[in-house]
Chains A and B, each alone.
Chain A
């Protein structure tokens, strides 16, 4: 380290229901701290818009009112809904953010998300002027995509504030930018120990989904946050799926596609998005 080299700043806050760690370099200490604060602010903003655990969030308002009439949302929420519907279409429903009522019926999401009838992503209609409408009384949970989107927003903010390199890690959904390559160890889904071969990451994102950390028993069977939308059953195997992609929302959402769809469809979608997947099983 010579006197010209600039330090790395690393901070961590509990957000998005997990820990979010932000690392950045390339500015003096004060500027780095202020850039990191701004990036955390972006994540807080997305959490306040898109968390179904917050009854006052924008997505909660959509869930309460969009069946009654169109609800106008922010650019960010509209973008995430667009991304989600595009991926639902491309995966023939393997990615479906309207699985929320089922998760609520298992006690994994708040009870106000329960619905009597089954619907799916096709019931979510996006209209001009950032308006959302439900054709049936469904409910949306953006948990499978918004965390990655928040990571992307934080990275965009750090880049905009002239950091040379940065990484944002939201409990396993991470994205890096900068000239250097990061080497990332995946964790074993059962033992949680790092697996030996690291994955290289440069200006890219890596997200992991595994039922191992959230699964629990519900009326005598195993349930988790990860659901196969086709037969509406939880994925409860000891498996983890990691996806490397250009953006974190995409990596995050593609992990669910790989978990729920057949290998040929998954491979086609990964190729389409220039992404790769690693499946770890015990």
Chain B
């Protein structure tokens, strides 16, 4: 008997019984800096946006500006390294963008990715799992999960985030 080539699995949609949280840490800040700007010296150049700048960036990029404190580094010899976070429907993504001297995207690296489903984001207990675990919130199943799920949706959130950062460059960083 040959193995069956097609297996049907009928599985009811579970309603939040197992609470899967999939968190992956890819890079620390230092590692992301090396990945995007190898052998370059980076100098911290954080920016606090004014309410006017926030409004202008939102208008120029058509993306809401949630955070006024921007984590930015100036790259020796030209360029910028910006740390940012986007919040999707079910996930938080921290990522880094490297900009060239003239403000073009050089490289984007996802630094960490935390996802959850079904309203657990508002659950204080769930939140507590992340407290104090800046780089270590590895709540992972023993095995890999195939999908970085909702990936299509949340990669769009990154695209929005990058558009917001490019507007930030134009309006705030560019000399």
B-binding residues in A (CB < 8 A): 10-14, 17-19, 21, 33, 37, 167, 169, 171-172, 174, 182-188, 190-195, 198, 206, 208, 213-214, 242, 258, 263, 266-267, 270-271, 275-282
Which among B90, B117, B146 has the greatest number of chain A C-beta atoms within 10 A? B146
Contact with A along B1-34 (1 / 0, CB 8 A): 0111111111111110010100010110000001
Q: B110 near A185 (CB under 8 angstroms)?
A: no
* Distance A272 CA – B150 CA, assembled complex (angstroms): 32
Q: B7 near A276 (CB under 8 angstroms)?
A: yes
Q: B152 near A11 (CB under 8 angstroms)?
A: no
Q: Which 5 A-B pairs have the closest CB atoms?
A: A171-B151, A12-B110, A183-B143, A191-B13, A190-B13
Q: B9 near A169 (CB under 8 angstroms)?
A: no
> CB of B101 within 8 A of chain A?
no
* Distance A192 CA – B24 CA, assembled complex (angstroms): 17
* Distance A208 CA – B152 CA, assembled complex (angstroms): 13
* Distance A172 CA – B18 CA, assembled complex (angstroms): 21
Instruction: Give the contacting residue for A198; candidates B3, B20, B109, B143; CB below 8 A.
Output: B143
Q: A187 near B145 (CB under 8 angstroms)?
A: yes
> CB of B35 within 8 A of chain A?
yes
Question: Smallest CB–CB gap between A232 and chain B, Å?
Answer: 23
Q: Nearest CB to that of A258 among chain B residues?
A: B6
Number of A-B contacts (CB under 8 A): 147
B123 cross-chain contacts in A, Cβ below 8 A: none
* Distance A187 CA – B13 CA, assembled complex (angstroms): 10
Query: Can you list 25 A-B pairs, Cβ within 8 angstroms, ordered by A?
Result: A11-B35, A11-B109, A12-B113, A14-B108, A19-B151, A33-B34, A33-B35, A169-B144, A169-B146, A172-B148, A183-B143, A184-B145, A185-B144, A185-B145, A187-B149, A191-B14, A192-B147, A193-B14, A193-B20, A198-B143, A213-B149, A213-B152, A280-B9, A280-B10, A280-B11
B11 cross-chain contacts in A, Cβ below 8 A: 188, 195, 280-282
* Distance A142 CA – B135 CA, assembled complex (angstroms): 38
Question: Smallest CB–CB gap between A252 and chain B, Å?
Answer: 13
Instruction: Give the contacting residue for A11; candidates B9, B12, B27, B155; CB below 8 A.
Output: B27
